[in-house]
Amino acid sequence: MARLFLGIDSSTQSLSAVVIDLDTHKVVCEKSINFDAALPQFKTKNGVLPGRDPLVKHSPPLLWVAALDLLFAQLKKDKVALGKVLAVSGCGQQHGSVYLNEKATAVLAALDPKKSLVENLDGIFARKTAPIWMDSSTAKECAEIRKKLGGIKFTASRTGSDTFERFTGPQIRKFYKTEPKAYEKTASIALVSSFMASLLAGKIAPIDFGDGAGMNLMDIRRKNWNPDALKATAPSLVKKLPLLAESGRVIGKVSPYFVEKFGLNPEALATVWTGDNPASVLGLGLIKPGQVAISLGTSDTFFGTMEKCLTDENGEGHVFGSPTGGYMTLICFKNGSLAREKIREHYKISDWKKFGQLLAQTPPGNGDAILLPWFEAEIVPRINKPGIHRFDLDEKNAAANCRAIFEAQALSMRLHSQWMQVAPEKILATGGASNDRALLQVLADVMNCRVQRIEVSKSAALGAALQAAHGWLVAAGQNPKWEKLTTGFCDPVPGSEIKPDKAAARIYDRLVEKYAACESEAMEAVETSKL
């Protein structure tokens, strides 16, 4: 009998499933439910409820619940062999929080298959909506918690990150301050990931070390709730938070609801879910310490894996527990494709091929010219006031500006990932802009390491399916190796490897120093409003 494993990704705009076959090492099915299109009655736009305050971003948890019913119905309709699924795992958009009342435990334990999941769960919420990762309305709470924890460096070294508006601790504090009665009625606080896992398991699920690290509440080294962080956030929090556990750990058998309604294997195991980024790290095959992937999208994201826990004392990067047991880091640069496109538009360059040709007319290092492309407020480094800064760079020189934007982004990644103390052997590049060889060559030269493209469809849901398989094998008393488990699922694109040019790499070893100095100068000037 085929050994199938189901991974589910509960993301901002959709709920996706990937089913893998562990014997053939093949993906047997991929399915997605788009929230706005499939469930218009929840009135979301891109999965988020419209509202008056642009800083507030919430979603209705019942939307995710309804989508889970639809997803399973679709899998059944497509004749996916749900009866052969041995374990289910998943991941969720990080940081979002769901507030449950005292009825939740009993309701979860007795889900009635004759009713929909929404009808079953309607009465279990202490808060109708869930703040999600796009919410940035908690600047005050961030400052309060950071202060109580002893500043940026200490907050980051204890919880893995400085306080951030979207992180769950500051969100919980805001809820406690603004709706104290509803906070008091909250019996249990879940993350999106642990909430969805609870539906599958039919009981309150643990939060894992990956997603738990995105809360500013978990001790990143000891992997338990940090009493000081809990105290700095809200009262009685320890009673409201579930247990912490490693992702993929078996919680129990799946709820009979899914067995009776959709024909899921009654012996299938429900496991602990994780965050979408930790799951993607797995889905991209980053299973050994020191492996790095860069996703070149609207924002550029740097993912790295580390064996030991090091934290960023500047508080710019995040450290989460990795599903493979060590640690992973996530550094998000907001001015990614967005900034590249702005430069292309500014110089009226028709396409990326032409852009690459212009770039090739200039030498690596660009004659020491530097561009700081903060078209939007930047996350890394923290820049609240957008602005473009040129140092020894002529704005009229289109070719030099084309090179400058790519070099700036790669130099910034090199500079701001130094705290990880990881010298990658190879960087995997993914996302829309990873098709651009000119960009990847600059990346290889600046990082002085090989760069190869990887294209994995639904990497988060795939990571979750692999996590389900791992959890099941562990529960069966085996000692599965991640390397063996991931073989064939996430291989980089053959023939796409780019080698660094040694002479160019030496130039960038020097230029990164100048880049850092320009960055400090511009940041100081922004702070003192000289620019």
Helices (H), 86-213: 104-109, 117-121, 139-149, 152-159, 168-178, 180-184, 192-201, 209-212
Our finding on whether 57 is near ligand XUL (CB under 6 A) is: no
Cβ proximity of 498 and 444 under 8 Å: yes
- Smallest distance, ligand XUL to C-beta of residue 487, A: 27
Q: Residue 246 half-sphere exposure, CB side, CA atoms within 13 Å?
A: 14
Identified binder of ligand XUL from the candidate list 12, 16, 186, 291, rule CB under 6 A: 12
Our finding on whether 324 is near ligand XUL (CB under 6 A) is: no
Identified binder of ligand XUL from the candidate list 11, 13, 89, 233, rule CB under 6 A: 11
C-alpha 378/C-alpha 333 separation (Å) is: 7
Backbone angles phi, psi at 300, to 5 degrees: -100, 135
Our finding on whether 137 is near ligand XUL (CB under 6 A) is: no
Instruction: Using the minimum distance from each CB to ligand XUL, give the nearer residue, 120 or 277.
Output: 277
Identified binder of ligand XUL from the candidate list 14, 59, 89, 94, rule CB under 6 A: 94
Only one of the segments 174-182, 274-282, 425-433, 479-487 lies at the binding site for ligand XUL (rule: CB under 6 A); that segment is 274-282
Our finding on whether 93 is near ligand XUL (CB under 6 A) is: yes
Instruction: Using the minimum distance from each CB to ligand XUL, give the nearer residue, 191 or 268.
Output: 191
Instruction: Using the minimum distance from each CB to ligand XUL, give the nearer residue, 137 or 255.
Output: 137
Instruction: Using the minimum distance from each CB to ligand XUL, give the nearer residue, 11 or 265.
Output: 11
> Which tokens is 259 given?
């067995």
- Smallest distance, ligand XUL to C-beta of residue 447, A: 22
Query: What is the separation of C-alpha 127 from the centre of its chain, rounded to a whole number of angstroms?
Result: 24
Instruction: Using the minimum distance from each CB to ligand XUL, give the nearer residue, 213 or 393.
Output: 213
Instruction: Using the minimum distance from each CB to ligand XUL, give the nearer residue, 174 or 389.
Output: 174
- Smallest distance, ligand XUL to C-beta of residue 277, A: 5
DSSP string over 423-448: --SEEEEESGGGG-HHHHHHHHHHHT
Cβ proximity of 221 and 256 under 8 Å: no
C-alpha 190/C-alpha 242 separation (Å) is: 7
Cβ proximity of 415 and 512 under 8 Å: yes
- Smallest distance, ligand XUL to C-beta of residue 474, A: 26
C-alpha 181/C-alpha 390 separation (Å) is: 52
Identified binder of ligand XUL from the candidate list 277, 295, 305, 467, rule CB under 6 A: 277
- Smallest distance, ligand XUL to C-beta of residue 320, A: 8
Our finding on whether 303 is near ligand XUL (CB under 6 A) is: no
Our finding on whether 95 is near ligand XUL (CB under 6 A) is: yes
Count, residues near ligand XUL per rule CB under 6 A: 12
Identified binder of ligand XUL from the candidate list 57, 166, 340, 416, rule CB under 6 A: 166
Is omega for the bond preceding 381 within 30 degrees of 0, making it cis?
yes
Query: What is the separation of C-alpha 330 from the centre of its chain, rounded to a whole number of angstroms?
Result: 8
Please report where in the chains the tokens 């993607």 appear, as a residue: 280
- Smallest distance, ligand XUL to C-beta of residue 297, A: 10
Identified binder of ligand XUL from the candidate list 133, 225, 273, 472, rule CB under 6 A: 133
Task: Give the amino acid at 398.
Answer: A
Our finding on whether 216 is near ligand XUL (CB under 6 A) is: no
Our finding on whether 276 is near ligand XUL (CB under 6 A) is: yes
- Smallest distance, ligand XUL to C-beta of residue 274, A: 11
Cβ proximity of 260 and 77 under 8 Å: no
Residue 409 sits at the vertex; the CA angle it makes with 408 and 411, to the nearest 5 degrees, is 65
Residues counted in the chain: 531
Residue 380: which of 331, 322, 453 has the closest Cα?
A: 331
Residues that bind ligand XUL (CB under 6 A): 11-12, 93-95, 133, 166, 214, 275-277, 330
